[in-house]
Amino acid sequence: MKVGYVYDPIYLKHDTGGHVENAGRLEAIISHLEQTGLKQQLTLIKPRPASAEEIALVHDKQYISHIQEAAQRGGGWLDADTVTSPDSYQAAIYAAGGVIKATEMVMDGEVNSAFALVRPPGHHALAYQAMGFCLFNNVAIAAKYALAKYKLERIMIIDFDVHHGNGTQETFYDDPQVLYLSTHEYPFYPGTGGTGETGSGAGEGTTVNIPLPAGCGDNEYLSVFEQIATPVAKRFNPGLILVSAGYDTHWADGLALMQVSVSGFARMVAIIKGLADELCSGHLVFTLEGGYNLNALAASVNATCAVLMGNSEIEDPLGPPSRDFGIPDITRLIESIKGIHNLA
């Protein structure tokens, strides 16, 4: 298997100071991939900047100028938790362009699958608004780009970040060509992602929300991936699967209360890869969203790339959760979501 990874030092120049979403995240990932020897087996994909026209597939033109001008003025806070620096606009257009480039490499058959190791992340960014550490919605821009360039009829976006990707959902809420499926802690930031949010108009049914109570771990996530994500994907039959890969779902992450382990992520990724292999010639692109415990993040990205490479032996240096939470019973929630989406 030829697996690509997008990386460029430009992503380190989005300088957020002491913020949890900082350049150290990518540095930790790259250094861990080097240590495990996996980096040498992956194919480096050099990103390009997304053009203003490409970013405008999702974002308002005035908003794009606003982000550019904010950076030119030296940066600053865009909302209560999103900060920029002089190079943030440049990093952001390379982040969007990085996911586009990864998608091109996969669709053109240059690599079997790819992981865009980019920042700033994207899934909270709205057409007119930066939000939750995100400037441009990288995965949404790549999906719009791929629909147009490759004349795809359907794309599925799977988002396992611990937060709901409200920006991605909103971008495609009435779009029948893009199915957005999200697992997230709920109720939690940003507040959206209830089971009743299923899309509107022609897009009714192509938004699938799986809001999970705090404390869910590998078994709960695997049940959801087997019982909901798998039949949804098979029925939708996408030509490409994009993944908003957020590793703040890991038990060691300080931002949320989920209990997924590195091994759990590996098993979820194996299910997603299986779906891509079965449904869309393996066309599969991951993009980095959250993940703030550096050891958990680096090991989880390493495990993800290893599964994409076809390795069956996964290193989980952090092991299973050490915190003692009650395990929530999500049987009824799964049944309810299967009912809402008419899954047998």
Residues with catalytic roles:
124
Is the CB of 3 or the CB of 99 nearer to Zn ion? 99
Is the CB of 136 or the CB of 236 nearer to Zn ion? 136
**246 contacts Zn ion (rule: CB under 5 A):** yes
- Which class for 62: exposed (0-12), middle (13-18), buried (19 or more C-beta within 10 A)? exposed
- Single out the residue of 21, 197, 218, 248 in contact with Zn ion (rule: CB under 5 A): 248
CB of 300 to Zn ion, least distance (A): 13
- Single out the residue of 32, 119, 163, 184 in contact with Zn ion (rule: CB under 5 A): 163
3-class SS at 221? Answer: helix
Cis peptide bond N-terminal to 120, omega within 30: yes
Is the CB of 98 or the CB of 290 nearer to Zn ion? 290
* Helices and strands (H and E) in the chain: how many: 11, 10
Strands 284-288 and 113-116: parallel
**98 contacts Zn ion (rule: CB under 5 A):** no
Closest CA relative to residue 317, chosen from 297, 337, 292, 344: 297
**21 contacts Zn ion (rule: CB under 5 A):** no
CB of 162 to Zn ion, least distance (A): 5
CB of 204 to Zn ion, least distance (A): 27
Site for Zn ion in 25-64 (CB under 5 A): none
3-class SS at 241? Answer: strand
CA dist 282 and 27 (Å) reads 28
CB of 41 to Zn ion, least distance (A): 28
Is the CB of 213 or the CB of 246 nearer to Zn ion? 246
* Residue nearest Zn ion (C-beta atom): 290
Q: Considering only the stretches 161-169, 222-230, 257-265, 272-280, report the one whose residues sit in contact with Zn ion under the rule CB under 5 A.
A: 161-169
CB of 123 to Zn ion, least distance (A): 8
CB of 246 to Zn ion, least distance (A): 4
CA dist 173 and 186 (Å) reads 19
**290 contacts Zn ion (rule: CB under 5 A):** yes
**238 contacts Zn ion (rule: CB under 5 A):** no
Output b/e per residue, 298-319; b: 16+ Cβ within 10 A.
bbbbbbbbbbbeeeeebbbebe
3-class SS at 200? Answer: coil
Contacts of 186 (CB under 8 A, 6+ apart): 164, 193, 194, 211, 212, 213
- Single out the residue of 8, 21, 161, 197 in contact with Zn ion (rule: CB under 5 A): 161
Q: Considering only the stretches 212-220, 284-292, 305-313, 324-332, report the one whose residues sit in contact with Zn ion under the rule CB under 5 A.
A: 284-292
Amino acid at residue number 210: I
Q: Considering only the stretches 88-96, 134-142, 191-199, 239-247, report the one whose residues sit in contact with Zn ion under the rule CB under 5 A.
A: 239-247
Q: Considering only the stretches 44-52, 63-71, 159-167, 279-287, report the one whose residues sit in contact with Zn ion under the rule CB under 5 A.
A: 159-167
Number of residues near Zn ion (by CB under 5 A)? 5
Judge contact between 192 and 169, C-beta under 8 A. yes
**Biggest CA pair distance of the chain:** 55
Is the CB of 173 or the CB of 188 nearer to Zn ion? 188
Residues that bind Zn ion (CB under 5 A): 161, 163, 246, 248, 290
